[in-house]
Structure 1
Amino acid sequence: MGVDPVGTSGGLLEHATDRTLVERCVDGDTRAFQVLITRYGRMMKAYAVRLTRSSADGDDVVQEALISAWKRIDTLEDGAMVKSWLMRIVSRRAIDLMRQRKDTESTDDVMVEAPERDGPERRAEASSQLGALSAALDRLPHGQHQAWVLREIGGYSYEEIAEQLGQSVASVRGSLARARATLVKEMEGWR
């Protein structure tokens, strides 16, 4: 019995590179796709919730994004770029949903916990600070919120944000400048 270098048996598949997993997905390997979901699912959910301002909508967006990704994974030219590809699909799905539901309500926010190595006081402070930032983001006008999340969480360029939101680059720059100014003012107490 030989050794399986790509990890089809046992628990080695989760250690495969993104490129290898994508190649296997293209060949119809659902286990490889599950590893990608495990690897990037939380990030996709957090990003979707930030964009939609709703945990339930975030779940819907991620589900739709994963279905789309599975159907279109053979179109991905470089498997090593699967993470950014998945995040772009999430972004497009979230923006489509937000266009359909212009009056989305803010509900659950994703909170990132402080590392366990920090003491209880530091974790409590980090949690409070993240709560304050989340609340400040929720108070931003919808367009500023979208632009800020796409830029700061998604890492999109101004041009990409303009394309995603159907705005000019100048409009995006203005929205981001206003969003940043508001957030700096609202977070002054946490400096």
Structure 2
Amino acid sequence: MSDRRTELLELLDRSGASLYALLTRLTLRQDVAEELMQDLFIKLSAAREQGGVECWHAYARRTAINLAFDWRRREKSRRSCPLDESLECVSQAGSPLVKLIESEELDQVLAAIGRLHGPSREAFVLRYIQQESYEDIAQHLGKTPHHVRALCSRAMSAMRDLVLKDGREVQHVEDE
């Protein structure tokens, strides 16, 4: 087995579980996460052949995030009706309709995260989905913890605008 392939297998052995958990959280489906893990392996293998990547763990995580949001964009066209058209008053908190609404609200939030770009999206996902510390995120992104806090703050502000304005893009988060 080549050294590059061995390196890739070691990376997936060390980080595979956390990458799979991240994909599952972003897609909300284990079957899709499994497929995306295969796609991730193929992309990492191709990138290994080309070289030029300094931190493979960060590259793998960024690629996994991008794969998940690419999948969400493709699936967006399959939704049958928007949340606003299906809202009704419900008295039971655990009813199937309430669960459906909560699921669609989560889908709206994840769709809004997908509209963020570059380091803002990555910092937001690492902080609020993966619950990593600002210091760890800063180390992975090559930025200061203060800069990561600013990225997360701007991303959160953009997220609020996107979700509250029915998904219409109000502003773009600019990365520095």
TM norm structure 2? 0.50
* TM-score, normalised via structure 1 length: 0.46
- Of structures 1 and 2, the larger Rg is shown by 1
